[in-house]
Chain A
Amino acid sequence: MRAEWDRILGFSLVGLGAVFVVLAYFGVSDSPYLAEQLSFITSGGIGGLFLLGAGATLLHAADVHDEWRKLDQIEEFLREQAKQR
């Protein structure tokens, strides 16, 4: 669980970002005032994009961490084998 914090946070941010974008859409479509619509676009639209971007970055970082762990295990195994030879 501790090793997966970036993946959990990444998925949470992506989910939250999607919710923000959907809420922004409903806010904009329900309001007849341009000033209010722009406020929704800023908070939900751009804010949602920010959350999606930050979440995607964390998910990518989590994948890279997984690869490190696998490669480290292979390296450890090979070093053990080399010692036993």
Chain B
Amino acid sequence: MHTGRRLRAEWIAGYSLIVVAGGVLLSTWVGVSGSRFISDQLSYIASGGIGGLVILGLGAVVVVTAGLSDEWRTVDRLQDALRDYGGFAAPAAGEGGDPAVLVRRGRIVAGLGLLLAVAFVVPAWFRISGEADPKPGLEALTWAVVGLVLGGLIVALATLSVQRRIQKHKRRLFALWAAAGAGSSDETEREHVDEGAEQVLTAPGLTRFHRPGCPALAGLGARSIECGDIPAALSPCELCGADAIPREEKTWTSVAG
């Protein structure tokens, strides 16, 4: 299936599960408020209440991981764009891992967390539904809540792990650019450099000139040019802030009289 269409289907499935969870909880509330027997009410809470929250967790996992998966693909596209921009030695798209595999792994772990919650909820429901005395019912309900909390923690950790992998991937991609940006972000330092800047860099076939250290020139065999000799056809690179470097204006005075 086409990636965009699959993602859209995942979003719809995730949000549908959340709506279903809302419906289950609503029907649970109707059941609880319509019953006079505490054992019946506890049974409704264990099945519909906790069960509805488990369905909510499932929907949330699908929505969040679909978003993260798409973000990973966007970062991969950006990596290609960086390569096109300047032969920049960025890692090839997909080098950080296959987003589909990463997300699938995260979903499996999150699914196991939800199964753990279900494993606590089902026995609790059986225990409550066959019991007229509310005391053991409340005890069983407490265990169901414990299972829900444990399952929720596993789901959160699995999702955070996928998110951290994506952040790491982005940090690796932008590390060189961030270093270049940090070098030119301090205005005072920048002015100082500009005053003393005597040379800029360019490479054969390029239409821009760059500051020394601009990652756009990585692997391009750059040559240096004096600031006074920058050809008029070259425009400054905006990424490394070369536009702040003053270009010497050559003025000609007629001596012909």
Chain A residues close to B by CB (< 8 Å): 34-35, 38-39, 41-43, 46-47, 49-50, 53-54, 56-57, 60-61, 64-65, 67-68, 71-72, 74-75, 78-79, 81-82, 84-85
Q: Does B157 sit within 8 A of A, measured CB to CB?
A: no
The CA of A81 and the CA of B239, in the complex, are separated in Å by 9
- Residues of B close to A71: CB separation below 8 A: 71, 74-75, 78
A72 to B, closest residue via Cβ: B74
Q: Does B45 sit within 8 A of A, measured CB to CB?
A: yes
Complex contact A39–B41 (CB within 8 A): yes
- Residues of B close to A79: CB separation below 8 A: 81, 84
Complex contact A75–B71 (CB within 8 A): no
Give chain B interface residues in 23-71, CB to chain A under 8 Å.
25, 28-29, 32-33, 35-38, 41-42, 44-45, 49-50, 52-53, 56-57, 59-60, 63-64, 67-68, 70-71
Complex contact A81–B238 (CB within 8 A): yes
The CA of A60 and the CA of B63, in the complex, are separated in Å by 9
14 chain-A/chain-B pairs, Cβ below 8 angstroms: A35-B38, A42-B41, A50-B25, A53-B53, A53-B56, A54-B18, A57-B18, A60-B64, A61-B63, A67-B71, A72-B74, A74-B81, A75-B81, A78-B81
Known contacts A60-B64, A64-B67, A75-B81, A42 near B49 by CB under 8 Å: yes
Complex contact B22–A61 (CB within 8 A): no
Known contacts A50-B25, A74-B78, A81-B238, A57 near B60 by CB under 8 Å: yes
- In the complex, how many angstroms separate the beta carbon of A39 from the nearest chain B beta carbon? 5
- Residues of A close to B57: CB separation below 8 A: 53
Q: Does B223 sit within 8 A of A, measured CB to CB?
A: no
Q: Does B16 sit within 8 A of A, measured CB to CB?
A: no
Known contacts A50-B53, A82-B81, A38 near B239 by CB under 8 Å: no
B80 to A, closest residue via Cβ: A75
- In the complex, how many angstroms separate the beta carbon of B65 from the nearest chain A beta carbon? 10
Further pairs besides A35-B41, A38-B32, A71-B75: 14, Cβ < 8 Å: A42-B25, A46-B52, A47-B29, A54-B18, A57-B59, A61-B64, A64-B64, A64-B67, A64-B70, A67-B74, A68-B70, A75-B81, A78-B85, A84-B235
B69 to A, closest residue via Cβ: A64
Q: Does B227 sit within 8 A of A, measured CB to CB?
A: no
Complex contact A50–B71 (CB within 8 A): no
Complex contact A42–B29 (CB within 8 A): yes
B25 to A, closest residue via Cβ: A50
The CA of A46 and the CA of B77, in the complex, are separated in Å by 42
The CA of A28 and the CA of B77, in the complex, are separated in Å by 53
- Residues of A close to B235: CB separation below 8 A: 84
Q: Does B21 sit within 8 A of A, measured CB to CB?
A: yes
